[in-house]
Amino acid sequence: MPGDASENKGLAEANPAWYAAGLEHVWLPYAQMKTASLPLAVAATHGSRIVLADGRELIDGIASWWTACHGYNHPHIRAAVERQLATMPHVMFGGLVHEQALTLARRLTGMLGPHGLDRVFFSESGSIAVEVALKMALQYWRNRGVRGREQIVAFKGGYHGDTTGAMAVSDPQSGFHGSLAGLLPRQIIVDLPLDEASTAALDALLAEQAERIAAIIVEPLAQGAGGMRLHDAGVLQTLRALADHHELLLIFDEIFTGFGRTGTMFAFEQAGVTPDVITLSKALTGGTLPLAATVAQRKVFDAFWSDDPAKALMHGPTFMANALACAAANASLDLFACEPRLAQVGRIENLLRDALEPCRKLAEVEDVRVKGATGVVELKRIENLNGLRQRFIDEGVFVRPFSSIVYLTPAFTITEDELLKLTGAIRRVLA
Ligand SMILES: Cc1ncc(COP(=O)(O)O)c(C=O)c1O
């Protein structure tokens, strides 16, 4: 069990029997199990609230790793999942299809298709969606008879997931897998083209090495788990131009940014450029069930279209296009269509700007940045991460700093009062 013995005893007494009985047997994410703080036992969630087993209620600033964009337990999504559960929770997608998946594919391509993205490959997590995107990019060239294009260009500060291929295109330091250094496929990790010098450097690298590069992958507008860094739309225009010039595929990983987080339904819309492949997950089901999608341009799909079985995309997760998850995603898209989500994101953005800006004056604060429904206070350093996390819990909010970052990615439906409580807690705790 993580944490020290006295802390364990106190929590075991305060929590239900299942907590102490089961905690010995789980391995928690991103945690040194010996020193990690004990996790909080959650009994229920609703709206932007997390109800703990000991009766406390926390205002949630993270929306479960940015997934629960409509708040928890939205009745419309719940009803759709319940209806689906009564008829068919899951059926394999090999040789069989079902209404929820095909409806979702049609609706997603209805949104993305005008940009040319019109084939959806479903999977069950963001990391796998990235793996599929990378496989598409690598095999795209082979299927076209081009050999040697085996590398992917990705960016410092990026994070694309925890599976082998996804780790290999994430920043080795901020991407959480430094302890596996040297064991992963070696990809080309460079600076984002943020200014003239870095653009020229990337252009020169591509000019020299394009024949061994298959694709560029980037998180558009906001790099999430790698450090919550923002860049402007011009960077995406630069990348599109470079990819076109050097004839590379361009992958936008919108697993963090997709579905409104940056103020538009998809971040790439703000740049007026389109990727060849896009990855989606997280808020796709409104945070209810695991589901991901890799959506490809026709030209990518066409490279796999052949009489030759060897040119097929050989991927097929057991739970791909799970019917419950697709029903949740369809219901989530209904909510985007009939509720003012993007306007809510705009209001959150304004409030976050006003309320977090005063943090900039604090001596320990390095930067304050806001984009859509994401607010970030970057500190010079965080000495005691566990202690800082606990301070927020004591304030009655769930905010989970990492590295040197304190951030908010709330549900778009959060009330003004709840958001002010979150930002007030950040100002107080950091002061
Ligand atoms: C941009 C991005 N890509 C990929 C992933 C990996 O998604 P998952 O955790 O569902 O595997 C994440 C998760 O944080 C992400 O933010």
Q: 222: Cβ below 6 Å to ligand 1? A: no
pTM: 0.96
With a 6 Å cutoff on the Cβ, whether 405 touches ligand 1 is no
Catalytic residues: 30, 159, 253, 282
| Rounded Cα gap, residues 196 and 332, in angstroms | 41
Does the beta carbon of 175 lie inside 6 Å of ligand 1? Answer: no
Alpha-helical segments (H) within 357-397: 385-394
- pLDDT at position 178 is 79
* DSSP H or E segment with residue 385: helix 385-394
- Could you say which of 289, 323, 338 is where a domain stops? 338
Distance 10 CA to ligand 1 centre (A): 34
Taking the C-alpha atoms of residue 285 and residue 297, their distance in angstroms, rounded to an integer, is 23
Q: Is 20 part of a structural domain of the chain?
A: no
Find the CATH number of the domain harbouring 245.
Answer: 3.40.640.10
Q: Indicate whether 254 belongs to any domain.
A: yes
Query: DSSP of 90-142, one letter per residue?
Result: ---SSS---HHHHHHHHHHHHHHGGGTEEEEEEESSHHHHHHHHHHHHHHHHH
Same domain membership, residue 352 and residue 220: no
C-alpha closest to that of 98 among 334, 329, 326: 326
The CATH number linked to 370 is: 3.90.1150.10
Q: Number of folded domains in the chain? A: 2
Task: Kindly state whether residues 122 and 269 are assigned to the same domain.
Answer: yes
Q: Which residues does residue 230 pair with via DSSP β-bridges, in sequence order?
A: 222
Same domain, 66 and 135: no
Mark whether 285 and 170 lie in a shared domain.
yes
Residue (of 295, 290, 294) closest to 325 by Cα position: 290
Residue 143 lies in a domain: yes
Q: Which single residue is written with the structure tokens 């690598």?
A: 138
Residue 178 placed within a domain: yes
Helix, strand, coil shares of the chain, percent, nearest 5, are 45, 15, 40
Q: Nearest C-alpha to atom 5 of ligand 1 is from which residue?
A: 161
Does 237 lie in the same domain as 163?
A: yes
Give yes or no for residue 140 CB within 6 A of ligand 1. no
Say if residues 400 and 50 touch (Cβ distance below 8 Å). Answer: no
* Ligand 1 and 280: CB distance under 6 A: no
Residues 301 and 378 in one domain: no
260 shares its domain with 130? yes
Pocket test residue of 281, 284, 285, 374 for ligand 1, highest count of atoms within 8 A of CB: 281
For residues 224 and 170, state if they share a domain.
Answer: yes
Residue whose CA is closest, atom 8 of ligand 1? 126
195 belongs to a structural domain: yes
Cβ 125 under 6 angstroms from ligand 1: yes
User: Residues 252, 376: one domain?
Assistant: no
Report the residue among 160, 252, 374 best suited for mutation to probe ligand 1: largest number of ligand atoms under 8 A from its CB.
160
Distance 320 CA to ligand 1 centre (A): 17
The interaxial angle of helices 99-112 and 323-338, nearest 10 deg, is: 40
For residue 292, the ligand 1 atom closest to its alpha carbon is 10
Pocket of ligand 1 contains residue 317 by CB under 6 Å: no
Neighbouring residues of 216: CB distance < 8 A, sequence distance ≥ 6: 152, 153, 154, 239, 242, 243, 248, 249, 250, 251
pLDDT tens-digit profile, the chain (431 residues) = 555 545 555 555 678 999 999 999 999 999 999 999 999 999 999 999 999 999 999 999 999 999 999 999 999 999 999 999 999 999 999 999 999 999 999 999 999 988 899 999 999 999 999 999 999 999 999 999 999 999 999 999 999 999 999 999 999 887 678 788 888 999 999 999 999 999 999 999 999 999 999 999 999 999 999 999 999 999 999 999 999 999 999 999 999 999 999 999 999 999 999 999 999 999 999 999 999 999 999 999 999 999 999 999 999 999 999 999 999 999 999 999 999 999 999 999 999 999 999 999 999 999 999 999 999 999 999 999 999 999 999 999 999 999 999 999 999 999 999 999 999 999 999 99
Task: Please indicate whether residue 401, judged by its CB atom, sits closer than 6 Å to ligand 1.
Answer: no
378: helix, strand or coil: strand
Q: Which of 287, 311, 338 is a domain's end point?
A: 338
Residue 116 counted as domain residue: yes
Rounded to whole angstroms, how far apart are CA atoms 297 and 250?
11
- Mark whether 243 and 347 lie in a shared domain: no
Q: Are residues 332 and 398 in the same domain?
A: no
Q: Decide: helix, strand or coil at residue 3.
A: coil
Which range marks the domain in which residue 417 is found? 40-70+340-430
Pocket of ligand 1 contains residue 131 by CB under 6 Å: no
Q: Which atom of ligand 1 is nearest the CA belonging to 282?
A: 10
Pocket test for ligand 1, best of 132, 256, 261, 403 (most atoms within 8 A of CB): 256
Burial of 143 (0-12, 13-18, 19+ CB in 10 A): buried
The answer to whether residue 7 is domain-embedded is: no
Same domain, 233 and 116: yes
Q: What CA–CA distance (Å, rounded) separates 173 from 307?
A: 44
- Which atom of ligand 1 is least distant from the CA of 257? 1
- φ/ψ of 418, rounded to 5, equals -65, -40
Nearest residue by C-alpha to atom 9 in ligand 1: 126
User: What was the pLDDT predicted at 9?
Assistant: 55
Q: Among 315, 338, 361, which residue terminates a domain?
A: 338
Does the beta carbon of 127 sit less than 6 angstroms from any atom of ligand 1? yes
On whether residue 60 sits in a domain, the answer given is: yes
